[in-house]
Structure 1
Amino acid sequence: MKKLLVLFLLYCNCSFAQNKIVVFQSDFGLKDGAVSAMKGVAMGVDSSLKLFDLTHEIPAYNIWEAAYRLEQTVPYWPAGTVFVSVVDPGVGTNRKSVVLKTKTGKFIVTPDNGTLTLIAASQGIEAVREIDEAVNRRKGSEKSYTFHGRDVYAYTAARLASGTISFEQVGKLLPNEIVKLPYQAAVMENKKIKGTIEILDVQYGNIWTNITDDLFKQLEVKVGDNFHVVIWQDKIKKYEGNMPYTETFGAVAKGKPLLYLNSLLQVSFALNQASFSAVHKVYSGSGWTVEISKVK
């Protein structure tokens, strides 16, 4: 009876990791075989795994964008999904290789270099474990120091997703702390909202912020209200102007600015049928901040 109870508890501990889904993200691009190599390693662990791509078009070394794409995507996947995120300019250095388990039951396998900043804040940290490379490393790869995505992360993720190992077998438990990138959280101060430009809607050059609709609506807004928008890059002003809050791009003339809520219900800025980013030389990242206020 005691043995059955132990087996049941072990099953419960690892059940979140057994949906056999692995989702890959990197800055590798698809011009060579790097992504295919990672998937090959995963399939070598368990050929019944279901492998998907988040994106492999993160700009090279752009840890902030890796953090954002996880934030944008992880919530929509079921509990038990294992994510591999490899944007790793410090590969081979003493930065830690970890698996973070969110409070929503998702797992992220990644270097602890800031990639976890946003997802830890929004999904919460259930636990963090450092990957024990003596066990969770592709056999024969010990002399390789520059492709941990293949040799450590894809391999560990596949073992976890397949149930070959439990989360506890990833490696030693670390404090519930991760390396964090600095950024301006969305806050209200004296009827002005401050936030960060998290990302561009790259196809169209629209500007997406981290200001949620709930916070925005504290300004008692209605469609058609005008807003004063100021944008800085590292405290250098890059844009200042007024624009209406609209529900559609066509509510303003071609080339004119507007404020709208994007598909994630976050405050965004655009030019109708033009690129706000290209026209005003506004980009994204932790150093790009914004302030909006209602025009009386």
Structure 2
Amino acid sequence: MKPILVFQTDFTRKECAVSAMYGVVKSVDRSLEIFDSTHEIPKFDVWSASYRLLQPISFWPEGTVFVSVVDPGVGTSRRACAARTANGYYIFTPDNGTLTHVKKYLGIREVREIDPKRNRLRGKHNEKVAVFEGRDVFAYCAAKFAAGLLSFEEIGPAYSTDDIVTLPIMESRVWDLHAEGISE
């Protein structure tokens, strides 16, 4: 049985970006199942994306492939990556802090930089669009992986999990009549 794909973005449903990503997945393999976590992450809010990615992950079957695209650095030199968690999930996302909560609370066993020369959608008139890595890199590469057309090792070179970009996490604390922490 092929893995399930679960998407989260900050794209909303007002435009066709989510539909375009699903079209890419179905063009790779029509039998792949796609589900939504959310497309209502606040625009470019990487911390919220990290927290929202952690919340549902352990309720999905082991081997589920998550695609998280909240990317204020799109088109820059930031890495595109695929991570394998300690408990057997896969995440395709920009390496921009989105993996913070998963790394801290679940653990990441391995991370690979997506090689755009080998794992980027081409030939769908997407060359005329300045940059849509959610569609052309993350959805495409995740679909190839879920379809069994690409091994984890073929995604690109491995790099140290210590080099994953993380954001600060303030642990909540309560004392007397005070509470301190980040409310989400």
TM-score, normalisation: structure 2: 0.92
User: In structure 2, which of residues 136, 146, 149 is the aligned counterpart of residue 164 of structure 1?
Assistant: 149
User: In structure 2, which of residues 156, 161, 168 is the aligned counterpart of residue 182 of structure 1?
Assistant: 168
Deviation of 1:231 (Å): 4.0
Q: Does 1:94 align with 2:43?
A: no
User: In structure 2, which of residues 144, 167, 177 is the aligned counterpart of residue 228 of structure 1?
Assistant: 177
CA distance in 2, matches of 1:61, 1:82: 22
Opposite residue 32 of structure 1, the aligned amino acid is E
Partner residue in 1 for 2:138:
153
Q: Which has the higher contact order (CA 8 A, sep 6+)?
A: 2
Opposite residue 70 of structure 1, the aligned amino acid is L
Deviation of 1:19 (Å): 2.8
Q: Deviations over 1:169-203 (max 9, x none)?
A: 100011112101112135xxxxxx36xxxxxxxxx
Corresponding residue pairs, total: 181
Opposite residue 141 of structure 2, the aligned amino acid is T
Partner residue in 2 for 1:139:
122
Q: Deviations over 1:146-178 (max 9, x none)?
A: 210000000000011111111001000111121
Instruction: Give the SS at the match of 1:109.
Output: strand
Q: Percent identity?
A: 50
CA distance in 2, matches of 1:145, 1:125: 32
TM-score, normalisation: structure 1: 0.58
Gaps of 5+ in 2: none
> Quick check: 1:130–1:173 contact (8 Å CA) kept in 2?
yes
Partner residue in 2 for 1:44:
27
Q: Deviations over 1:58-94 (max 9, x none)?
A: 0101111100111101111111111000000110001
> Quick check: 1:21–1:161 contact (8 Å CA) kept in 2?
yes
CA distance in 1, matches of 2:116, 2:161: 20
Deviation of 1:122 (Å): 1.3
> Quick check: 1:100–1:109 contact (8 Å CA) kept in 2?
yes
Q: Deviations over 1:87-108 (max 9, x none)?
A: 0011000100000100111001
User: In structure 2, which of residues 17, 23, 38 is the aligned counterpart of residue 55 of structure 1?
Assistant: 38
CA distance in 1, matches of 2:69, 2:178: 35
Q: Larger Cα Rg: Structure 1 or Structure 2? A: 1
Q: Does 1:118 align with 2:101?
A: yes
Partner residue in 2 for 1:238:
none
Q: Deviations over 1:85-134 (max 9, x none)?
A: 00001100010000010011100100000000001111111100000111
Deviates further, 119-128 or 43-52: 119-128
Instruction: Give the SS at the match of 1:159.
Output: helix
Instruction: Give the SS at the match of 2:58.
Output: helix
CA distance in 2, matches of 1:78, 1:129: 22
Q: Does 1:173 align with 2:173?
A: no
Structure 1 residue runs of 4 or more that deviate by more than 3 Å after TM superposition: 141-145
CA distance in 2, matches of 1:27, 1:167: 26
How does 1:242-261 map onto structure 2 within 5 Å? none
Instruction: Give the SS at the match of 1:76.
Output: coil
CA distance in 2, matches of 1:139, 1:52: 24
CA distance in 1, matches of 2:93, 2:128: 20
> Quick check: 1:39–1:154 contact (8 Å CA) kept in 2?
yes
